[in-house]
Amino acid sequence: MEEQIKAYYDVLGDQGVGMEGPLVDAEGFPRADVNVYQIRTAKHSISCIQNYHKAIMVEIEMALHRLHAREKAKRDQDQAESQAESMEQEVTLPSPFARADAVSQGSPACQALVMVS
């Protein structure tokens, strides 16, 4: 599409007329130095293709927004599921390897809150 638009702009450039250039002379007659039909056709084609291009770009933008929203929702769901799984796992404490009969006040064992069994 962009190449077609450029080709039509080249047609206008070859004729020395832009999209806003007048196709009539000072007296209101069609200009004799340009191909009016070719210029009008090129202007119309440029306008139609640009409108179509804009519409397609809007559709692409909306599709990208939907795609990214879907990916974000999936990522959030996966993260929530992994958190739920980690919370559901039972924490098993290792079996004790030693017993304390007494803990002295102020000792490192007392500061570590070691309990007497």
Record the pTM: 0.57
User: Could you list the residue range(s) of the whole structural domain that residue 55 is in?
Assistant: 2-111
The number of distinct structural domains making up the chain is 1
Query: The tokens of 32 are what?
Result: 């004799």
Q: Among the listed ranges 9-13, 27-31, 87-91, which one has the minimum average pLDDT value?
A: 87-91
Classify residue 54: in a domain, yes or no. yes
Are the beta carbons of 36 and 30 closer than 8 angstroms? yes
Using the structure block, give the residue that is written with the tokens 């130095």.
33
Classify residue 117: in a domain, yes or no. no
Q: What's the pLDDT at 84? A: 78
Classify residue 116: in a domain, yes or no. no
pLDDT above 70: residue 39: yes
Q: What's the pLDDT at 115? A: 72
